[in-house]
Structure 1
Amino acid sequence: MFENSQKTATVQCLNSHWIGNMNLACQTTQCALPKIEHADVNCPNGTNYRDRCIFRCRNNAIMIGQINYIICEENGLWTLPEAFCQVVCPHEGLLARNISYDSINCKVKRIYDMQTSYPVSTVCRLNCLRHYRASQMQTLHTKIRLVCSDDGVWIGPSCIPITCPSPKIVYIGSYNCTNGFEIGSSCRFQCPGIAQHRYSVCKKDGTWSNRFQCSSPRTACLSPPSMRDIQFTCPRRLYPGKRTLPYKFQ
């Protein structure tokens, strides 16, 4: 199908000659570059009349339907696509968050068979694996809620390993743990000036079996010097910070 730049033109044969606009220029009917939502389009032969363009869904979408091409028609418009791309969230995105497979509970309205994918706005409730807890939570909460967003990404917390709190910074270098601060890790620590080692194990509830705590070294002070007309009353042993009070004046 061809057309001229003015769509129509009129010429007349008069006295063996053509009269009218003879500067005609016809060109092939063309369609605009097609755009299909959530898909990449490829037109290997161009976008002229009867040319065919193929479209493929992007990574965050799946194709609903079988025919994945459109054809340029004589009116300069593309045929309506018989398939479309549906944005989905992948099933693997759930498992990547360290959740229990058997606990997956998703509320979804599946109009089409999308196998292991979930459409936008799907809400899933899941349980964390054993010895894992929900992130973004201060307590040992083991249930999470995820929502499939408009761009095909799961929105919500993940499950992270339950760990015990790290010892205070003053104890760095005085302990050695078998597996960091994770459950079951055994830490051996030694207080300064004490030869005996102590052990603490990270329990399932995220607490240590023994506290990382060392007593401050205590040094004795000599009795205060005697002073004329003052009698001091002191405890049996004098340590830094203990007060001695003058009780009587003689």
Structure 2
Amino acid sequence: MACQPSLCYVFEGDGVCEEFERGSSFQDCGFLTPQGFSDQWAFTASGSHQDQRCPASRVIGEPAVTQMCKSQYFDVNEIVAHDAWSPCTAHLNSYQDPPVWLKVAFERPGVAASVIIYLAYDGRWNGENCRKLVTIELCDTTGKQHLLGSYELSCQRNPLVVNVTHNLSVPFYQTSAVQLNFSSSQVAVLAVALRTSCHFSAFALTGCARRQCSTESCDPLNVEHASILCSPAIDSRHCFVSCDHGYTLTVVQGQALPSHQMEVQLSCVHGVWDRVVSCQLIDCGPPPHSHVYFASFSCPWGTTFRKTCTFSCNSPAILQGESDTLICLEDGLWSNPEAYCKVECMAPPSIANATLLVPHCHGGGHDVGTICRYRCNPGYYVTDTVNQKPRKKFLRLECLEGGTWQEGSCSPVTCPSPPTMFEGMYTCTNKFHFDTICTLQCPDTNEWSSIRCAKDGRWTEDFTMCKKIEGSCQPPADDNLVEYICEEGYEIGAACYPACIVALSDPVLLANGSSSETLEHWVVPSKVQSVVCTGMLKWYPNPSQIHCIQSCEPFGGDGWCDTINNRAYCQYDGGDCCPSTLSSRKVIQFGVDCDQDECTCRDPAAEENTGTAKDKQPIEK
């Protein structure tokens, strides 16, 4: 008996609001407003931290139903790309925690029933038990503030719905704005809504009046681009509003509706329609990049219902198919394309010191994923493997999705430097690369000898010291706070070992004219292990260029900014002195606080120094 595969259907995100999804699926059913209540979104907004990358205006209006709240992780760069507000400049002030607040105002003041806060980040970190708090204040139409209380933020309870309890012994007030005061800068807000009751009259509850029972009727409905059917025809209480073909319902006030709904029933409650709706022309918006990859779109007639856009393929992609036209459909989506852009690679590049092996790689028109293989010439190996064992002789290049070939090259094998005692006595035709010839130039030309770098990375033979050179080096002078230990003597080939007189210092090689006092923080000097007496009867490296600088403390990357380590020689303390390279985004000084240069963010690669990094990249000496 043949097995039949199981079929599963995922209701979440299918665009259809099932009965069991109401109240739980924002994506399919929109934002739920309980019967008898009205929700309105923030109309204006301001915040404690304003920046072009994260303006407070992002919380205005209804949030996108696809946005999700995140815990355990906070990335300022992701927030910038997110439709949410956060105090994204707070991390630049690393020495104190400024107050963080967000104030939103609403177009129609009303007696608040609830305040609803939609979060993008709740500010919680790995292993942290303490949750961040928000303190909520209601602002009435007279400017007076009313404290609601403090509440925990959690993605598990998003949105945060705070119900408002009114004091019945005092007159009711109408809320026009809400201020949110946060206990942490590591939070992000998507939207804020004010919920009011449709059956609540602030005027009636602040005074007494004698009235006769009467039926309150609603004003006649007037919705452009729609047909309206009411029952009964006279003194109607319920009306159906159906948008004309090509238009979609938009809720201006009241309970939200699923996207692209064309019809809705309105009810008259206490003289007010439970929703205010309008019919807007369907707008598909610009076609997304994913609709046709490697294409550019042109929509000169707009992007509304039945309008068309055309697309053209970006070089080197080629159009495959006949029609390059898209149509905006009734569901707000663009029609499926009847053509696509195929990316092909041109002929593979010519690689220096290598031979193309695969015959079909000659010429152009290669599909993405095509592999072309090269063999490196003798003495050459695939770059990045030259100094490895085993070295690779065959280079593989792949045609990438962008229509370009993967980069690669063949580099010559390199032989090791001749022993230090021959420094300054030889010349080479091509450094120490394959096939180079190095000639030892002795005082007696009859003793000159040459060696060649073979394809296996070894010299054909070893240099032999010139026989007619006699004498030894003078003892190295103890300059620049450096002393030398010369247990091997001062003969040619003997080594002396430098040691710094000052404790916790390293002997390093500096350029002529430089000293430990003038050394810039972005320079990385080489640490000197020994100096050798050469056949020129000189010490190499030159002891006059060896200075002592302070050693690095073994605490890089521990979360504390050690000023001693805040330099390129110590890898800028493992990123501890820049907010952007710390997971907490807050610099903590080790020891007393300071405002000197060595306490600032110096790392040229850090986000704070992007503009100056080009001139201060670490330089090895």
Q: What secondary structure is seen at the aligned counterpart in 2 of 1:145?
A: strand
How far, CA to CA, are the matches of 2:354 and 2:309 in structure 1? 42
Q: CA deviation at 1:83?
A: 1.8
Q: CA RMSD in A?
A: 4.6
2:367 alignment counterpart: 118
Identify which of 451, 456, 460 aligns with 1:209: 460
Query: What TM-score does the superposition give when structure 1 sets the normalisation length?
Result: 0.56
Q: What secondary structure is seen at the aligned counterpart in 1 of 2:287?
A: coil
Aligned-partner residue type, residue 463 of structure 2: F
Q: CA deviation at 1:29?
A: 3.6
Q: CA deviation at 1:68?
A: 3.1
1:178 alignment counterpart: 429
CA contact (8 A) 1:125 1:145 kept: yes
Bigger mean CA deviation after superposition, 207-216 or 22-31: 22-31
How far, CA to CA, are the matches of 1:179 and 1:171 in structure 2? 17
1:100 alignment counterpart: 355
2:324 alignment counterpart: 68
Which runs of 5 or more structure 1 residues have no equivalent in the other structure?
A: 15-19, 108-113, 220-238, 240-250
2:389 alignment counterpart: 138
1:9 alignment counterpart: 228
Bigger mean CA deviation after superposition, 36-45 or 148-157: 148-157
CA contact (8 A) 2:345 2:365 kept: no
2:375 alignment counterpart: 127
Identify which of 320, 338, 341 aligns with 1:82: 338
Q: What secondary structure is seen at the aligned counterpart in 2 of 1:9?
A: strand
Aligned-partner residue type, residue 448 of structure 2: H
Q: Percent identity?
A: 31
CA contact (8 A) 2:382 2:392 kept: yes
Q: What secondary structure is seen at the aligned counterpart in 1 of 2:228?
A: coil
Q: CA deviation at 1:159?
A: 1.9
How far, CA to CA, are the matches of 1:215 and 1:96 in structure 2? 42
How far, CA to CA, are the matches of 2:282 and 2:421 in structure 1? 80
How far, CA to CA, are the matches of 1:164 and 1:151 in structure 2? 38
Matched residue count: 203
User: Which of these two proteins has the greater Rg computed from alpha carbons?
Assistant: 1
Q: CA deviation at 1:47?
A: 0.9
Which runs of 5 or more structure 2 residues have no equivalent in the other structure?
A: 1-222, 234-238, 242-275, 472-490, 492-621
Q: What secondary structure is seen at the aligned counterpart in 2 of 1:47?
A: coil
CA contact (8 A) 1:100 1:129 kept: yes
Aligned-partner residue type, residue 334 of structure 2: W
CA contact (8 A) 1:187 1:199 kept: yes
1:20-52, Cα deviation, whole Å (9 max, x unpaired): 999996654422321123434333332123433
Aligned-partner residue type, residue 9 of structure 1: I
Residue 49 (1) aligns with residue 300 (2): no
> CA separation of 1:97/1:70 partners in 2, compared to 1, >3 Å: closer, same or farther?
farther
CA contact (8 A) 1:49 1:76 kept: yes
Query: What TM-score does the superposition give when structure 2 sets the normalisation length?
Result: 0.27
